[in-house]
Amino acid sequence: MSPHLAAPRRTLDVGSADAPSVGWMRGAQQHVSLDLFPEGLRPGEGVVGSATELPFADATFDVVSAFDVVEHCADDARAVAELVRVLAPGGRMLLSVPAYQWAWSDHDVRAGHHRRYTRPAFVELVEGAGVHVLRATYAFAGVFPLFAAERLVRRVRPARPGEARLPQVSPGVDRALTGVCRAEARVLRRRDLPFGSSVLVAALKPPSRPAHA
């Protein structure tokens, strides 16, 4: 995603109050974070609000990001339209969503998801809001076999009511999986991936056409 950041004057990240995944976006520009909940928002840059009713004027930001946010919105088309509305002409929109409806499980229910996406379906949703998709790829292909197996287990043995079930991994396994993801990140710099547990999209809002005299 970083090549699409360029040198913005003002950026907005929606739905990432703890902001561990968007530290790479921070620079000299004005950065605004928005979330439904105030916990984790930084004083001076945090705004409480909804992705489907962004409290900003049209064309305010040069870059708008929403990582693992759109799937939480019952009206995903409206959420994407709002992101496009506050994006300046010529600005970039950076998005991620979970992949594949067949992977739906009790984890999605607990997380408050409404759906999962294929790459073509998400591209259609984004371009339907009036922007041009520059890049769309799956991600986390390297750990995808483990992801698929874990979702199969959830289908065979659903969680009991009140049971919060997350996979437990040892520090060694965690380091190994992180290493796989780092290697994949290097691949993603050069090419798209044909499958994975997430879909990543970078899109461009068309520049404004000059008015005729």
Q: What is the pLDDT of residues 122-180, one digit of tens each?
A: 999 999 999 999 999 999 999 999 899 988 887 777 667 666 666 677 899 889 999 99
Instruction: Judge contact between 147 and 116, C-beta under 8 A.
Output: no
Mean pLDDT of the chain: 89
d(CA 38, CA 17): 8
Pairing of strands 10-14, 61-67: parallel
d(CA 151, CA 70): 21
Least confident of 14-18, 46-50, 89-93: 14-18
- pLDDT confidence of residue 213: 45
pLDDT tens for 50-81 read: 999 999 999 999 999 999 999 999 999 999 99
Give the global pTM: 0.89
Place 212 in a pLDDT band, splitting at 50, 70 and 90. low
Does the structure show a pLDDT above 70 at 101? yes
How is the chain split into domains, by residue range?
10-205
CA distances from 171 to 19, 56, 167, 181 (A): 23, 42, 13, 15
Best CATH choice for the domain 10-205 from the list 3.40.1030.10, 3.40.50.150, 3.40.50.1820, 3.40.1160.10: 3.40.50.150
Does the structure show a pLDDT above 90 at 95? yes
Place 211 in a pLDDT band, splitting at 50, 70 and 90. low
202 membership: H or E segment, kind and range: strand 198-204
- pLDDT confidence of residue 79: 97
Copy the structure tokens of residue 26: 């921070």
